[in-house]
Amino acid sequence: MGLLLLIPILLPIIAGIHILKKNYEDRADRERFVSRAVILNAVIVIVMALFLRGQEGVLLPIIPGNPIAFKLDNLGALFAGMVSLLWILCIYYAFEYMKHEGDENRFFGFYVMTFGVMMGISFAANLVTLYLFYEFLTLANIPLVMHGDSIQAKTATRIYIIFSIFGAALALCGIAMIAFTGGGSTAFVPGGALKGVVAGATVIQIAFLFTFFGFGVKSAIMPFHAWLPCASVAPTPVSALLHAVAVVKAGVFAIARVTYFTIGPDLLRGTIAQNVALAACIVTIVYGSAMALMSQHLKRRLAYSTVSQLSYILFGIVLMSTDGYLGGMVHLFGHAIVKITLFLCAGAIIYKTGREYVWELKGIGKAMPVTMIVFTIASFALVGIPPLPGFFSKWFLTAATISSQGSMLAYIGLVALGVSALLTAVYLFSICANAFMPGEGFDYEAANKDVSDPNRYMTVPLITLAVAIILFGLLISPMINILSL
């Protein structure tokens, strides 16, 4: 029964290979095939998340104690469900957006394959399996980042590959140290598979830091963050998934697995390793927000915002407490919905106007009301206005910090969260204000002649995401129940 989990992993991979091999000449035929494959896979994932939780299956017993194995626990089910639903919206958005990018068969082939790889990460039963699909994710994303073959895209791809290889090497060293210290197994167990291990405490701390910064490369933790702003040159559907769902969230997801399901917070709480990780998160939170404020390129501003917001999640994780884990995971899911919305709004603006800089958006709210209203709702959510997603995650993070047994770094982190929230309000609300209130005497006709919202392929996903953001607060209680360790 557990091997049924292979279906939503293999189905998109096979579908993606089919797209590349068939090389569709008719856009409508390709869109029908892609949409059916993605929707079918999402339905399978949702059904499995509802009815197959707890199932486990071993595929290949390659390494003793660490087989290629899959398991559907609460965290994996919620993560897979979120990815599946957001992938559907992104696919329909991409049908319209990619018309002006070219080479659509290659794009949709790898875009669909990435969906399957993400399911492999979600369903992994141990660190070895997760690491395998984590590396497949890098390979599947390289053609997407490089799409268009421009000099900027090739440069961004080289940077992405270099950082990814370095991070993979660090993470692999950490995983090996965990396996040998813990008796050979890296299985995911709530509370940590190494819970109770007293021998090798120093080795465990080093292993944690290796995995934290190794997987942290994809989570854009400083000083390994530079690839993420560079990757914003990719088409917006790619940027949206890179910055909201796929790559960066895979890194955060992996760190959560290491901390709470492999090593265990009890072995790390109060150690030098925890303090180093906390310090890196604090610096990244403030740095990312400051760089977002200074950046005038719209997608780059959102990219630096992602750098900061990812460390909100990591900060909660490395507080090594139940409340911290809960705050981090709530922010993981809330940020995914909000940031994908902001990027898709930015893509709609670029698609309809070709404008990429903040100063070019004056008065655009009248010409593109749907896009900018959705952008404003997402901005309020990211800042943390109640009852939107950012409010709940920051509430839990604050509670976790206050109950962190007097850790000075934790309290410094609380200050960093406050500073970042203020900077976030400035760099997002300034865009919204200029879009709807450009000032007296502004000539709307001259500034936005022939500009309008995109068609339903792009606006329906935007409206759906805005509704999801608003409804997030109503779903917070069942989410907390599912995420509870």
- What are the pLDDT digits (tens) for 290-300? 999 999 999 99
**Residue 474, CB-side half-sphere exposure with 13 Å CA sphere:** 5
Q: Does residue 183 register a pLDDT over 80?
A: no
Rounded CA-CA distance 86/343 in Å is 13
* Number of residues that this document lists for the chain: 485
- The pLDDT, as a whole number, for residue 1 is 60
Q: In this structure, are residues 373 and 435 in contact, taking their beta carbons and an 8 Å threshold?
A: no
Q: What per-residue confidence (pLDDT) applies to 439?
A: 81
Each residue of 417-428: pLDDT tens digit? 999 999 999 999
Residue 404 to residue 53: CA distance in whole angstroms: 32
What distances in angstroms separate CA 227 from CA 117, 158, 217, 374, 413, one per listed residue?
Answer: 21, 9, 9, 28, 24
Bigger pLDDT: 154 or 343?
A: 343
* Distant-in-sequence contacts of 40-45, Cβ < 8 A, 24+ apart: 40/11, 41/8, 41/11, 41/12, 41/15, 41/84, 41/115, 41/116, 41/119, 42/84, 42/85, 42/87, 42/88, 44/7, 44/8, 44/11, 45/8, 45/80, 45/81, 45/84, 45/119
pLDDT bracket for residue 474 (50, 70, 90): confident
Q: How far is CA 237 from the centre of its chain?
A: 13
Looking at residue 198, its pLDDT comes to 55
In 3D space, the residue among 379, 389, 393 whose CA is nearest the CA of residue 314 turns out to be 393
Q: Which has the closest alpha carbon to 305: 317, 291, 316?
A: 291
**CA 193 centroid distance within chain:** 26
Task: Please enumerate in sequence order all residues whose Cβ is within 8 A of that of 237, keeping only pairs 6 or more positions apart, or say none.
Answer: 90, 93, 94, 97, 98, 111, 344, 347
Q: What is the mean pLDDT of residues 61-71?
A: 83
Give me 251's structure tokens.
């890194």
Tell me if residue 35 falls in helix, strand or coil. helix
- Are the C-beta atoms of residues 359 and 298 closer than 8 Å to each other? no
The pLDDT of residue 409 is above 90: no
Q: What is the mean pLDDT of the chain?
A: 89
Q: Closest Cα to residue 419, out of 329, 288, 310?
A: 288
pLDDT confidence tier of residue 444, bands split at 50, 70 and 90: confident
134-167 tens-digit pLDDT = 999 988 888 888 776 678 778 888 888 999 899 9
Contacts of 297 (CB under 8 A, 6+ apart): 232, 356, 357, 358
Report the 10 Å Cβ neighbour count for 47. 11
Quote the tokens at residue 103. Answer: 């080479």
Indicate whether 102 pLDDT > 80: no
Which percentage of the chain shows pLDDT scores above 70?
Answer: 96
**Before 265, cis peptide (omega within 30)?**
no
What are 347-382's pLDDT values in tens digits? Answer: 999 999 989 899 999 999 999 999 999 999 999 999
Instruction: Please work out, in degrees rounded to the nearest 5, the angle formed at the alpha carbon of residue 457 by the alpha carbons of 343 and 383.
Output: 25
Least Cα distance to 81 among 397, 475, 484 occurs for 475
For range 17-23, the mean pLDDT:
91
